[in-house]
Amino acid sequence: MTTTDTLEQLDAILASRREADSGSSYTANLFAGGASDIVAKIEEETGEVAEAAQLDDDGHLAREVADLWFHCMVLLQSRGLDSQAVLAVLAERLGMSGLDEKAARTN
C-alpha cells in the first residue's frame, strides 16, 4: 500500500465519521466537540511529539507523529479539507527554498 493510498483511505474513514453519532467512535466524538476539542488534542499531541523527540526511541517518535498527523487530518476534515489539500501545498513547495517560500507567503 502506498502512502497516498493510506492517506486516501484515512480521508474516507474520517469523512464518514463527520456525520456519525458521537457515541459511536472516538473520531465522531472529536467532530462533535468542534474545532476547540480538535485543537486541544493537536496541542496535546504536539507536546507528546516534542517529548518523544528527546528520547532514543524512533518507534515511539513515529507513533507520536502518527497521532499528531491523525488529529491534524481530523481538523482538516472538520473544515471540509483532506490530505490532498496539504499534499498539493507540499507539491507546490518542492524545489523552492524555505526562505523563498516563507517570503512569498501572504498570510
Instruction: State the CB neighbour count (10 A cutoff) for residue 5.
Output: 9
Q: What is the pLDDT of residues 27-68, one digit of tens each?
A: 999 999 999 999 999 999 999 999 999 999 999 999 999 999
Average pLDDT rounded to a whole number, residues 70-93 = 96
Q: What is the pLDDT of residues 90-99, one digit of tens each?
A: 999 898 777 7
Q: How far apart are CA 24 and CA 14, in angstroms?
A: 13
- On whether the pTM is more than 0.75, the answer is yes
Residue indicated by cell numbers 488534542: 41
Sequence length of the chain is: 107
- What is the domain-level CATH number for residue 37? 1.10.287.1080
Domain span at 80:
3-104
Please count the structural domains in the chain.
1
- Choose between 9 and 96: higher pLDDT: 9
